[in-house]
Amino acid sequence: MDLGIRGKRALVCAGSKGLGRGCAEALAEAGVDLVLNARGAEALETTAQAIRDRFNVAVTTVAGDITTEPGRAEVLAAAGAVDILVTNAGGPPPGMWSDWDREDFIRALDANMLTPIALMKALLPGMIAQGWGRVINITSASVRSPIGVLGLSNSARAGLTGYVAGTSRQVAPHGVTINNLLPGIHDTDRATALDSGVMQAQGIDRETARAQRMAGIPARRYGTAAEFGAACAFLASQHAGFMVGQNILLDGGAFNATV
């Protein structure tokens, strides 16, 4: 399918690895030029070069922490006007409800709620002015179904979801859509880190921890970054202009619901 976005320009945050990289690659495959961000400059450059070589698109890199004011300012200055924004950042650490204090919540809110909101606030006016734009926020399945040990994520991402629900309807008249992609377990470094948490908590090996987590997924496997990226590219495409304020769950059927 021709996604109809060849020659457009996207900012993909936290995109040197994992789900962000999956989104960057799928957009590049559709002919989209990229501004790519992550903190670690080396992995970022390696990913950027791999994308240039494979898809023949322009990739500008900006190394920096997207959850900080200076990091965002640098990324936004390099990006200029973009047609497509993919927001993403690392997820908060796991723990217990009794562990978290105000500072932990502020950090989680900064990373997973206020950062995407700040990026949208900066880039939506340009999209509105040109009458076309796409925002895809990488959130989490925890928005639909809470994950106890990820209470910081459950809370911060629920806040972002509420913001998107209202804001997406305010920008839709201008040809701009905002939607959220909700990953269930995907095979990335983040999933490996969470596997390690299960290993530690239960005193089991990695294979058993993964098998246990996969048993809770009707597809009986973890998702891939490529599958996730393909969904992102579709949301960014010309074909998704009538999808507004949706929360798309990619979880292999793990969330058990009729609708």
Give me the residues that bind ligand NAP (CB under 6 A), please: 14-20, 37-40, 43, 65-67, 88-91, 138, 140-141, 183, 185-186, 188-191
Provide, rounded to whole angstroms, the least separation between the CB of residue 56 and ligand NAP: 22
- What beta strand segments (E) does the chain contain? 9-12, 33-38, 59-63, 84-87, 133-138, 176-183, 247-250
Q: How far apart are CB 54 and ligand NAP at their closest, in Å?
A: 17
Helix axis angle, 102-109 to 151-171, nearest 10°: 40
What is the rounded distance in angstroms from the CA atom of residue 131 to the CA atom of residue 244? 15
Mapping DSSP to helix (H, G, I), strand (E, B) and coil, where does residue 236 land?
helix
Under 8 Å between Cβ of 84 and 3:
no
Least CB distance to ligand NAP at residue 175 (A):
27
Closer CB to ligand NAP, residue 120 or residue 176? 120
Residue 169 or 206 with smaller CB distance to ligand NAP:
206
Residue closer to ligand NAP, measured from CB, 190 or 239: 190
Contact between 12 and 86 under an 8 Å Cβ cutoff? The reply is yes
Which residue, 91 or 176, is less far from ligand NAP as judged by CB? 91
CB of 65 vs ligand NAP, minimal distance in Å: 4
Nearer to ligand NAP, 178 or 254 (CB): 254
Please state the closest distance from residue 64 (CB atom) to ligand NAP, in A: 7
Length of the chain: 259
Q: Counting beta carbons within 10 angstroms of the beta carbon of residue 11, is it exposed (0 to 12), middle (13 to 18) or buried (19 or more)?
A: buried
Give the residue with the Cβ less far from ligand NAP, 44 or 57: 44
Tell me the closest approach of the beta carbon of residue 96 to ligand NAP, in angstroms.
Answer: 18
Q: Nearest 5°: CA angle at 14, between 94 and 177?
A: 105
What are the CA-CA distances from residue 183 to residues 75, 129, 216, 224 (Å)?
25, 31, 15, 10
